[in-house]
Structure 1
Amino acid sequence: MGRLSVPEIQARKGREPIVALTAYDVVSARLAEEAGVDLLLIGDSAAMVVLGHEDTLPITMEEMLTFSRAVARGSERALLVGDLPFLSYQTGPVEAIRNAGRFLKEGGCQAVKMEGGQEVAEIVAAVVRAGIPVLGHIGLTPQRASALGGYRVQGRDLEGARKLLADAEALVEAGVFALLLECVPAELSRIITQRVPVPTIGIGAGPHCDGQILVFHDVVGLWPRFRPKFVRSYAELAPEIVRALRNYAQDVRAGNFPGPEESFSLSEEVLKALTEG
């Protein structure tokens, strides 16, 4: 079985929910594959979750490609989407095409994600014309968080809601194969989902989207530092991991690890030769 294709994801609209997950490495990708996830996004949120930055802005193309290659090595079925980092596409279509192409050529991806609406529609269209599928991203766009007044729900007032509708229409016209809606009121997400011909994938956008996406670390409870309202954690692995590491440390300090079962031994003949010679 090969990877899910862009047309197969598009065909899910209004029919079968799309299960998407943000992942950054081989382990998370393999576990997601075993769980049957349809789409894996290699998100620039790796800047915060993996690299420890305060926001997504510092991550580079080279770092994103490293994460992308790791996820590609760990998965076989899911559609892989690379997240174009800050300033890798905003400067114009030529650089956007070059960097988007690197995700396909070097990163093992089949598509890329770009943040923004009407203001990036022309760049999105150029990337699509170059043969690179694009997942649009509107609502709360973390790369523009400072301009949006922080990490806030978008589209709550009439003006904001109309802008998001216009953004969605502009991106569809530009050729996106799907739309990611982040931190958008559920009622507005329903309207957008009904009006656009491409699938919508929500994160903090209510139940009416054609699919949902969360970050791997949030789903399994590995990121206790911050948990947004829209996250549902299906496990709490962080305390379990700390407990395991404490037990390991205690065994090392007490001389209980490694034991005979974790050690290798010489044959009696070799040992005798060494000790007598």
Structure 2
Amino acid sequence: MTAVMNADLHCHSVVSDGTLTPEELAERAAGNGVELWALTDHDEIGGQHRAAAAARANGMKYLTGTEISVTFAGETVHIVGLGFDAGDTRMLEGLTATRGGREARAREMAAQLAQVGIPGAYEGALKYVGNPELISRTHFARFLVEVGACKDTPEVFRKYLTEGKPGYVPHRWASLKDAVQWITLGGGIAVIAHPARYKFTANEEYALFSEFKAHGGRGVEVVTGSHTAAEATRYAGTAKEFGLAASRGSDFHSPDESHTDLGKLPPLPEGLTPVWELLADRIR
């Protein structure tokens, strides 16, 4: 596994908030030249066996994956887990618990939207997911676009689903320590996802990376769909500062919504340890 290989270790299927099946994602990734792939659905590993089989069928190597939501300094932070045992009971139980608050949160979001003249949002969002345990803001966004409340999902988030807007309801997720330990005890590596997206002060970000590493976290996404070239350079420096491996993933959700397609990212900056080098024995 070389440092310059086309690895895409962050994307989402219909098992969480993507629009393609694991099989469709695998075919798309392989068609775009991906050599090593991971499906990282939000707080869910139910698609892992399908994804691994589809990766093999399309000639790709595969790492198990998930993206766990955690609360840190009042913000929701995402921790990607790679290469863990998908049958590990601690991981399964932890993810079940962290998903448990989604339905109640979704009903409260719908009630707020009804107050500003958008009725039926819970049922409308549910059409896009099918499982109340996995309902998220993305599913509400798709419904609001469908009914013409907004022209696209970014407008939905600006007007309705972010802090201070109608429809925003915070959710307390797992702790950073819990998420990192579920991943590492299952034999995997924890990675901080798309760090440039979090609205942290410099001190808060330093605390995040320090605590993450203290709990056993070993990687950070340097190249990802939402990072600019300057941000990739910045977090390459952070990876070196904290002695973390570097990961690469598009965060692809949908052909119609995602800015970056599977397998279409620039390579990792030089001088970093790719996370897949630490996971060579977990690649299937």
Task: Identify whether the pair has TM-score above 0.5, normalized to the shorter chain.
Answer: no
**Larger CA Rg, structure 1 vs 2:** 1
Q: TM class, shorter-chain normalised?
A: 0.3 to 0.5
What is the TM-score when the length of structure 1 is the normalising length?
0.35
Greater relative contact order structure (CA < 8 Å, 6+ sep): 2
TM-score, reference length from structure 2: 0.35
